Amino acid sequence: MFIAVAGKGGTGKTTFVALVARHLLQVGKGPILAVDADANANLSQALGIQTQFSIADIMHAVAEERESIPAGMTKDRYVAYRMHQALAEGQDLDLLQMGGPEGPGCYCYVNNLLRGYIKELAANYQFILMDNEAGLEHLSRRTTQNVDVLFILSDATVRGLRSAGRIRELADGLKLGVKKKYLVVNRASQEDVSILKVDIEQTGIEFAGFIPADPAVTDFDLYAKPLLSLPEGSPAAAAVADILTKLEIGRLG
């Protein structure tokens, strides 16, 4: 199952991806491939998995011919080899970091190879979790398609919900083959959700639930501790687990 997460900056997308991974691992749904598609990469810290380099590093080097291909190896095989090296492996959880934006050269060739590589990788995992930058940039390049579930995150503000609605419109316009879209309001209370009821409905996205503010998440972020090790009493982790259970994500994956 391919799950993508989107939302404007500061809505807690990376935290949400980490907590989804935490729940899936707890219910025995590994192996999982996490893909950090945000140029401001923070998913490795949230998961406690360190990457050596990103896909963007490879793309830049190959597109600009800054790396020499070993004798007897085709360009396709070399790029595939380097992409495999970029995969950081953990315990039932691997991480692929996409990296920063492309340079001025032509990246059509490496983007095509990347599409094929992720498709090939997908066969080895029960779940793929993608943390997107605002605007669904990587999805718009068609480097990933046929998303099973797109979670669109918002904070508990009218402005945030309007942004979520625009992201939904963008996803619809790109015709990415998204099967299900759900709205999650982060760092919110039941009172917030009640006040914002009309604005939530106006996003046009099915409301999956809200995640309360959680001092433990703030503390873990402050000290760069992986969110996978949040204590069992974490309200945010419990809320994400409840959302996934309600949507039968994990049971059906």
Convert the pLDDT of each residue in 129-139 to its tens digit.
Answer: 999 887 666 66
pLDDT at 120 over 70: yes
Q: pLDDT at residue 5 above 90?
A: yes
Q: Mean per-residue pLDDT for 58-86?
A: 79
Residue 53 falls within a domain, yes or no? yes
Q: How far out from the chain centre does Cα 218 lie?
A: 20
- Whether 52 is covered by a domain: the verdict is yes
Above pLDDT 70, what percent of the chain?
Answer: 87
In a domain, 251, yes or no: no
Tell whether 222 is covered by a domain.
yes
Residue 18 in this model has a pLDDT that exceeds 50: yes
Q: Is the predicted pLDDT of residue 52 greater than 90, yes or no?
A: no
Q: Taking all residues of the chain, what is their mean pLDDT, rounded to a whole number?
A: 87
Q: How far is CA 92 from each of CA 24, 28, 66, 70, 245, rounded to the nearest angstrom?
A: 10, 9, 34, 32, 20
Which residue type occupies 135?
Answer: G
In this predicted structure, the answer to whether residue 28 has a pLDDT above a threshold of 60 is yes
Is residue 50 one of the residues assigned to a domain? yes
Total domain count, the chain? 1
Query: Which of 59-73, 149-163, 224-238 has the lowest average pLDDT?
Result: 59-73
How sure is the predictor about 144, in pLDDT bands with cuts at 50, 70 and 90?
low
> Which residues constitute the domain of residue 87?
2-246
Residues above pLDDT 90, as percent of the chain: 56
pTM exceeds 0.85 for this model: yes
Say what the pLDDT of residue 92 is: 94
DSSP letter assigned to residue 126: S
- Look at residue 252 and tell me if it is in a domain: no
pLDDT, residue 253, reads 47
Q: What would the DSSP string read from start to end of 38-92?
A: -SS--HHHHHT---S--HHHHHHHHHTT-SPPPTT--HHHHHHHHHHHT-EE-SS
For the cut 70, the answer to whether the pLDDT of residue 42 exceeds it is yes
102 pLDDT band (50/70/90 cuts)?
low
The more confidently predicted of residues 8 and 175 is 8
The CATH code of the domain that includes 51 is 3.40.50.300
Query: Which of 10-47 are b and which e, b meaning 16 or more Cβ less than 10 Å from the residue's Cβ?
Result: ebbbbbbbbbbbbbbbeeebbbbbbbbbbeebbbbbbb
Predicted confidence at residue 239, as pLDDT, reads 98
Residue 241 lies in a domain: yes
Instruction: Indicate whether 179 belongs to any domain.
Output: yes
